[in-house]
Structure 1
Amino acid sequence: MEYMKEPSTVSQGNILCCQCGIAIPPNPANMCVACLRTQVDITEGIPKQVIVHFCKQCGRYLQPPGTWIQCALESRELLTLCLKKIKASLSKVRLIEAGFVWTEPHSKRLKVKLTVQKEVINGAVLQQIFIIEYVVQSQMCDDCHRVEAKDFWKAVVQIRQKTLHKKTFYYLEQLILKHRLHQNTLRIKEIHDGLDFYYASKQHAQKMVDFLQCTVPCRSKSSQRLISHDIHSNTYNYKSTFSVEIVPVCKDNVVCLSSKLAQSLGNMSQICICLRITSAIHLIDPNTLQIAEVDGNTYWRHPFNSLFQPKQLEEFIVMDISKAHGRKQGAGAGMKSNKHTLAEAWVQKTSELNTNTQYFCRTHLGHLLNPGDLVLGFVMLYSASG
């Protein structure tokens, strides 16, 4: 008769720590974690306090050897910069995890918690968590130092528009902010007719001029002045000036075209309204709805100015308005606007409501105006000569 033996389960036993004698699972060092840490410090050689440099003027941190980068607090970019400061020390251990420990934003301190591993006695792997404190010290970057050292600029872009109400200038300002073309400037100075943009290099100034020429109708000219000359190395130091003049016409201005220009635009009426300003001047004839575009080169060959200034606008009330259906819309051969409606209206000045004086006019805003609406307009008097 044979007896069947049940298989025996093999269980791992504990050993005693060679230092303190407590029971622990077997490991290559035959020591508990507490005793192993007293014998070996895997963070030895890793600095516990590091200095990082921060520029107050532009809010950038110094990334050695000489690069300044923009980083938000507790961002991934700032964590990368902090770890690069101790990259050589971390080469002896294995980095497992890294993260920021919250500190007061104004404390000038950054704390990073690191988790590292390292193989120690007899192949045992020890893991340890510790905190490195980064002391933020103020240091002015080279770009900000150049701003503080006045007259260091190498190029200036002078933007001018000779009008009382600079609607085009405000539109251009929003485009500059949208495309971040102001970031390379050393400083921006406001003067009577416009702005001056100062740059540390001529290339940045030329980039701004190219942007202006593609955005608004303008003309530009450049000049340079010799500052210094080294006869030994044959090097020259120049300061460049770019003068940009924007056309003195803004949105909603009433303009008078020359007879030659009006004829070239398809026999358009000489009295027009500026609809908007882009890379060209968009005009509309309020009597015929004929539209045309005048680019910068054409404008400077046949210049024209505004007939009225915004301060001369008067308030009118629409007494009656009717669309001009089936009526002759002018002899012009140009394109007609599909976004506007030609209408005939009777209007009266709000300052003359107690009189019977009314004005008859044609308007391109027939799709917007209704009786009782308040509008702003000009009174133009025509004189017939023999």
Structure 2
Amino acid sequence: MCVNCIRNEVDITENIPKQATIHFCRGCERYLQPPGIWVPAQLESKELLTLCLKKLKGLNKVRLVDAGFIWTEPHSKRIKVKLTIQKEVFANTVLQQIFQVEFIVSSQQCDECTRLAAQNTWKASVQVRQKVEHKRTFLYLEQLILKHNAHKDTTNIKETKDGIDFYYGQRAHAIKMVEFLAAVVPIKYKTSEQLISTDIHTSTSNYKFTYSVEIAPVCRDDLVVLPKKLANSLGSLSQLLVCTRISNSIHLLDINSLQSGDLSHSVYWRSPFPSLASSKAMIEYYVLDVEPLGPVNGKHVLADVHVARMSDFGRNDTQFIARSHMGSLLNPGDTVMGYDLTRANFNHDEFNKLNMQNLPDVILVRKTYPVRRKKNKQRNWKIQQLGKQEEEMLPRKQDQAKIEHDMEMFMRDLEEDPEFRSTVNIFKQDGPAPAHDDDMMTDGEFEEEDFPEISLEEMLDEMAINMDDPDQAMADDDEMMI
């Protein structure tokens, strides 16, 4: 037979289907690669062409010479592929044929999108709580989670009045989150399980697991009183201490002697204690004079600081001499936040046992900057936030004001403490130019030259941070502070 007759008599494409179906998830825009792998692919891409060719049975019995897409409307749910194949039909006779295959795009939800769309499909949850009167701990914890991509396996995140709930499709993912939290904050947790269903034929049961995580109610800048036995175990520290930072342990400082101690989470939870006073109880003082005393412990320098309450300054002559660890930071004319023990009334058993004659009148904690940005000026930086689902009940007006105040205090902490913000991803702010010095005035209408700012070198361009191993990345940070 001649070539034309062979083409009329023999069809080498008869065992290859001319129509097939591929499944597409509209939620995450991925295609199903049997048996259960969902892969991302753009229209007319090599990945999509590979997926289409794998759907054709009988293609392995011929030689594929060429394959390409035929243009179709993107919304038509049809993908057409033109194929060129060869096959030997008689001895030393190879026949080449061109044909097209139409793929119908069928919508189907992947497992992950199904769990997100449906309710009560989670298998494990992590409920994080802290019994304090502010949200600054959770604001910083949120930044750590974002930086290390620790939330990548969550199916949903809900913000509650007292904390955050994380939901997972697998128990192992919830355990991994608990391990991450234990590495960055002092926690304790307990596990509970709920029976969902039981198969009597195979003796298998389906459970939901809940991990209740409690963060130690001691925060940065808090004033604490240690039990005497615990203080002695830390190297004969004073019982009245200031918390300088929180990682997976509690870091404490004696401002009178610059002695420091680290209280591990296991030791703390064996004999837990609350804070004597939180940062909200601090008042502002005006620095009159600074007398360095010499002893240095790292960045801390011991000094006697003469201060007066800002509320008394210019009205009376009440002054205090406070022993402080900020001898290298304070100068006459500065303002500083501290605890006023002369007017305090604490209902604390350990505090009542202290020798009141040896107690200082004032405990200075941190330097402050009375300069505040005008409301019409924006910062030239920003931070990311988790995509949390809020409670159904709308917050009251005073609750919303409290949330905004906590956020502003957290932003100021980042501005004023370079070591603190080194563990947070800070991004450049798109929009108006940053406020200049002439836009930042003190209450007395004069400029402050040393107002802390975040340099451009510390900022990142906004992008999606995706880290393959958050545990390894977390180990790169020496200290994580709350």
CA shift, 1:110, in A, is 9.5
The number of aligned residues is 342
Match of 1:229 in 2: 198
1:358 aligns with 2:308: no
1:384 aligns with 2:337: no
Q: Secondary structure at the match of 2:301?
A: coil
C-alpha spacing 1:225/1:369, structure 2 compared with 1 (3 Å): same
C-alpha spacing 1:364/1:385, structure 2 compared with 1 (3 Å): closer
Equivalent pairs: percent with the same residue?
48
CA distance in 2, matches of 1:172, 1:259: 31
CA shift, 1:44, in A, is 9.7
Match of 1:186 in 2: 155
Q: Deviations over 1:191-212 (max 9, x none)?
A: 1211122222222222222222
C-alpha spacing 1:231/1:50, structure 2 compared with 1 (3 Å): closer
CA shift, 1:268, in A, is 0.8
Q: Secondary structure at the match of 1:351?
A: coil
Of the candidates 140, 146, 160, which is equivalent to residue 177 of structure 1? 146
CA distance in 1, matches of 2:305, 2:34: 71
Q: Which has the larger radius of gyration?
A: 1
Q: Deviations over 1:212-234 (max 9, x none)?
A: 22332111111222222222221
Of the candidates 188, 202, 210, which is equivalent to residue 241 of structure 1? 210
Q: TM-score, normalised by structure 1?
A: 0.72
CA contact (8 A) 1:109 1:133 kept: no
CA contact (8 A) 1:315 1:374 kept: yes
Q: Deviations over 1:245-300 (max 9, x none)?
A: 11111122222211111111111111222222111111111221111111111111
Q: Which letter maps to 2:112?
A: D
**Structure 1 residues 137-176: aligned runs within 5 Å:** 137-176=106-145
Q: Secondary structure at the match of 1:294?
A: strand
1:373 aligns with 2:334: yes
CA contact (8 A) 1:318 1:372 kept: yes
Of the candidates 346, 356, 360, which is equivalent to residue 306 of structure 2? 346
Q: Deviations over 1:139-193 (max 9, x none)?
A: 2212222333322222221111111223333333223233333222222222121
Q: Which letter maps to 1:313?
A: M
Q: Secondary structure at the match of 1:324?
A: strand
Match of 1:22 in 2: none
Of the candidates 25, 28, 32, which is equivalent to residue 55 of structure 1? 25
CA distance in 1, matches of 2:209, 2:259: 43
Task: Tell me whether 245-254 or 77-86 shows the greater mean CA deviation.
Answer: 77-86
CA distance in 2, matches of 1:103, 1:375: 69
CA shift, 1:133, in A, is 8.3
Q: Secondary structure at the match of 1:255?
A: strand
Of the candidates 226, 229, 237, which is equivalent to residue 268 of structure 1? 237
CA shift, 1:51, in A, is 5.5
CA shift, 1:125, in A, is 10
C-alpha spacing 1:285/1:83, structure 2 compared with 1 (3 Å): farther
Q: Deviations over 1:89-119 (max 9, x none)?
A: 4873445687x99999x85779899896758
**Structure 1 residues 1-386: aligned runs within 5 Å:** 52-70=22-40, 80-81=50-51, 84-85=54-55, 89=59, 92-94=62-64, 107=75, 137-325=106-294, 337-355=297-315, 356-381=317-342, 384=356
Gaps of 5+ in 1: 1-28, 32-36, 330-335
Q: Which letter maps to 2:312?
A: E
Q: TM-score, normalised by structure 2?
A: 0.59
CA distance in 1, matches of 2:72, 2:313: 68
